[in-house]
Structure 1
Amino acid sequence: MCPRLAGAVMPSFASPLDTPFSILPQTVLLLPAQAPTASMEPAPLSSLQEDGEPEESPSSPSPSAFSADAVPPRPATHRSLHKYEPLDWSAYFDEERPVVIPDTEDVFNVYMAGSEGPVVFCLHGGGYSGLSFALAANRIKEKSHVVAMDLRGHGKSTTSDDLDLSIETLTNDVISVIRTMYGDSTPAIILVGHSMGGSVAVHVAARKVFRNLHGLVVVDVVEGTAMASLVHMQKILANRAHHFPNIEKAIEWSVKGGSLRNIESARISVPPTLKYDESRECYTYRTPLEKTEKYWKGWYEGLSDKFLSCPVQKILLLAGTDRLDRALTIGQMQGKFQMVVVRHTGHAIQEDVPEEFASHILTFISRNKIGPNGVEIPGLAKTWQH
């Protein structure tokens, strides 16, 4: 059977219906006996029933306010879980496609949406999936293509070694997927990466292998803060709940535990981060991040300088100004990249405030005049490319 939620301290929500109603004693009024009095009026005659007319049943007395019939029925137990019922990807993306990398055993799952504009290629953070961008993609696809990839060891992607999450391997995976999807005719691409995916996006851009890469969006990851937090990561992972009796409980935990603040996004993004454990008869995490510790330092070491050196337009979306390190502070003052602080959100900005996130992406594309084939120069028929 499924063990209890490890480390779970769930708030209790007591309903008035959880406490049974007390049946109050009825008060009996004793009236003094009266002698019967003879009536001078004849007893009234009952009206005769016509043929075929149904008999009138005597009216039943109205039930007492304290009777069992007056107690509202207890709500069905499944109603509380309906709030956290999983949602399907097809309501947000137009297509789901497996990308088979030639001459390997690797198959990467991608979600696609939109039919015009440049490609916004999204890379999720560690432990998330491509559906982390679902709500934002539903808005971005109005003016751009959106591709959200399940990285190695995440979501529905399968590889020969799902635990190899080194930055070199992850970077090569993304390059291979883009080349397999588009060949030599790569459209204009804007790389968007959240957390660990932000580091991967920076490394892909720094490789300079795509001449038509025109934008880099890094979401809430800074080298200084990330490196300082690594010493606490194992404890953080150990303290989270590890087993869930059903998917709804996992979604509920992600919201009440504080990792996500948008219930709708959690309902679409959490299910692909889980897998069913047959031996325990419950759900657990798809990606065992605690087993990939040897790669963590490589994700973030030297990230700030590499980000600043990327020869494309750049924007850094942060959930707080305290996340800037020295290199980025100097670079931002020198105008080497645009920085936006998004208020009232947690670490997963694209999930907590998807409308605002999508607006920042579309504004970035418009401001830098990035079209489907590259940077569009007004008045010229052709577009300029790197």
Structure 2
Amino acid sequence: MSDLQRQFAKAKLASYPATMPPAAAAFDEADEEEEVDYFNTELPDAPQGDDDSSSASSASSASSTGTIIPSSNQKLFARPQGTPNKRSLDQIPWTTYFERELFLESRTGDSTIIHHAYLTSPVGTAPLFITHHGAGSSGLSFAALTAEIRKRLPSAGILSLDARGHGSTKISPEQEILDLSLETLSADLLTVVEKTKIHMGWGTLPPLILIGHSLGGAVITDVAKGGKLGNAVLGYAVLDVVEGSAIDALQSMQTYLSTRPLGFPSLESGIEWHIRSRTIRNSVSARTSVPALLSFDENAKSSRPWLWRTDLGSTQPFWEGWFIGLSKKFLEARGGKLLLLAGTDRLDKELTIGQMQGKYALQVFPEAGHFIHEDLPEKTAMVIVDFYKRNDRSAMVLPPKVSDMLRAGKKV
């Protein structure tokens, strides 16, 4: 070892506590017997926190060959407590995002359905954003997005429901074949809105912005086209679904479902799978939304007792009905129209023509996956809030009437 290296090593060791681990304390003695260049050995880079865009495991391994290892009772190379060694996979509760949850009962025929929804009430004349998730997801899919919306519109309200067969919405008696037709899901959404209005004691509905992802986009478009919410609807936003590409994708849907795990050994492993597979590219959103997708089977005999709440394969009879005619309804329904996509290749012919004619607003996020609102909640919120402001009727200032100007003695 050179004199310069020896001086550097002694200066570093002088700064350590007096009770040094044996390997470090013996450094000076070993120096005379054998020259070992400890300081040319590269240590693995420390993790730089949570990288939401990474599909790799957060607990990466690295070789420690050639490094000085402290004794077990020392923490010579311990990281500061504020910086975890690996990404947290702990569940984030719904109370982080919403003020309350609702259980709204309705009866249809011989069945009773308890609609479950998350609500943050609007303040004053602020808008209410109503969200509908995609197939297999839940109302918490929009949690991260709604937090970002409220950063920009603190008085805004959010109503995010669980569709039947999803999340915490329950039907009794349980049905072998669950009715998930577009007509039924649209009726459920209208029921939730009306019962929320009654439960909260609202005399009239606040201004509404409807937001739907995938299947949810088809539902909110169908509701907007039906017009049963009247003039309360200012506009509607559809996230990453168009008729043509959706119907084409259905052909490979069963193949995709066959590649998913049937279950998970723990809730954390389910969250990790969604992040590693890049199904959801934002770990905060995954930690919020994934727990609502899984349920624990106490009678499970396998090592993977956390199973999917919704059997997507059984919904196949409804797939085409969800999306046929979607583009036409999207262009014809009353109100402002916003389409957010993860790629322009998803546009079909009808929507391409409509976009060229300026019939709706289009925003593309090529860096996002299918779950745009979970992958990029901040950017999605910026676009949606801007969309609301452009369609906010209360912000419109009409010119004064000529008769009023003359009556006030003003020249015309």
Q: Give the TM-score band, short-chain normalised.
A: 0.7 to 0.9
Give the distance between the partners of 1:73 and 1:248, measured in 2 at CA.
30
Q: Secondary structure at the match of 1:279?
A: coil
Report whether the alignment pairs 1:112 with 2:158. Answer: no
1:98 is matched with: 103
Tell whether 2:182 aligns with 1:170.
no
Q: 2:142 corresponds to which letter in structure 1?
A: F
Distance (Å, rounded) in 1 between the aligned partners of 2:321 and 2:121: 34
246, 259, 263: which one pairs with 1:239?
259
CA distance in 1 between counterparts of 2:160 and 2:148 reads 14
The 5-angstrom pairing of residues 1-386 of structure 1 reads 15-16=61-62, 83-101=88-106, 105-116=112-123, 117-141=126-150, 142-160=154-172, 161=175, 163-183=178-198, 185-211=204-230, 212-280=232-300, 282-371=305-394, 376-379=395-398
Distance 1:190 1:12 in 2: 37
User: What is the match of residue 26 of structure 2?
Assistant: none
Deviation at 1:324, TM superposition (A): 0.4
8 Å contact from structure 1 (residues 165, 292) kept in 2: yes
Q: In structure 2, what residue type is equivalent to 1:251?
A: I
- How far the C-alpha of 1:317 sits from its partner, in A, is 0.6
Q: 1:335 Cα deviation (Å)?
A: 1.3
Alignment-mate amino acid for residue 308 of structure 2:
Y
Aligned partner of residue 106 in structure 1, secondary structure:
strand
CA distance in 2, matches of 1:265, 1:231: 29
Amino acid at match of 1:125: G
Give deviations 1:254-277, integer Å, cap 9, x for gaps.
Answer: 000110000000000000010112
Cα contact 2:58–2:87 (8 A) shared by 1? no
Alpha carbons 1:113, 1:137 under 8 Å: kept: no
How far is 1:175 from its partner?
1.1
Task: Decide whether the 8 Å contact of 1:92 with 1:137 is kept in 2.
Answer: yes
Give aligned pairs, total. 323
SS in 2 for 1:115: coil
Scaled by the length of structure 2, the TM-score of the pair is: 0.72
What's the secondary structure of 1:159's corresponding residue?
strand
Summarize deviations over 1:340-375 as a string: whole Å, max 9, x none: 11231111111111111111111011111245xxxx
Distance 1:239 1:127 in 2: 15
Contact 2:341/2:364 (8 A) holds in 1? yes
TM-superposition CA deviations, 1:58-116 (whole Å, max 9, x none): xxxxxxx67865887999xxx87871110111111111111222565111111112532
Tell me which amino acid in the other structure corresponds to 1:167.
L
Decide whether the 8 Å contact of 2:120 with 2:158 is kept in 1.
yes
AA at the equivalent of 2:168: K
Whose helix fraction is larger, Structure 1's or Structure 2's?
Answer: 2
Contact 2:122 2:128 in 1 (8 A): no
Aligned in 2, Cα 1:83/1:67: closer, same or farther, shift over 3 Å? closer
> Do 2:94 and 2:288's aligned partners in 1 also have CA atoms closer than 8 Å?
yes
Spell out, residue by residue over 1:16-57, the C-alpha distance to the aligned partner (whole angstroms, 9 max, x if none): 47x8x899xxxxxxxxxxxxxxxxxxxxxxxxxxxxxxxxxx
Distance 1:70 1:98, change over 3 A: closer
Distance in 1 of aligned mates of 2:92 and 2:376: 18
Q: 1:15 Cα deviation (Å)?
A: 2.5
| Structure 2: gaps (5+ residues) | 1-54, 79-83, 401-412
Deviations 1:305-359 (A, max 9, x none): 1111101110101111111000000111111111111231111111111111111
Radius of gyration: which is bigger?
1
Larger RCO: Structure 1 or Structure 2 (Cα < 8 Å, ≥ 6 residues apart)?
A: 1
Report if aligned partners of 2:246, 2:323 keep a CA contact under 8 Å in 1.
Answer: yes
Identity %: 37
8 Å CA contact 2:209, 2:236 repeated in 1: yes
What's the CA shift for 1:238? 0.8
CA distance in 1, matches of 2:396, 2:56: 56
SS at match of 1:193: strand
Q: How far apart, in 1, do the equivalents of 2:69 and 2:377 lie?
A: 49
Return the TM-score normalized by structure 1.
Answer: 0.77
Instruction: Tell me the alpha carbon deviations over residues 170-201 of structure 1, each in whole angstroms, 9 at most, x when there is no partner.
Output: 11111111122225722221110000100011
RMSD: 2.8
Query: Where does structure 1 differ by over 3 angstroms across 4 or more consecutive aligned residues?
Result: 9-14, 65-75, 79-82
Consecutive unaligned residues of structure 1, counting only runs of 5 or more, are 1-8, 24-64, 382-386
Code of the residue aligned with 1:255 in structure 2: it is I
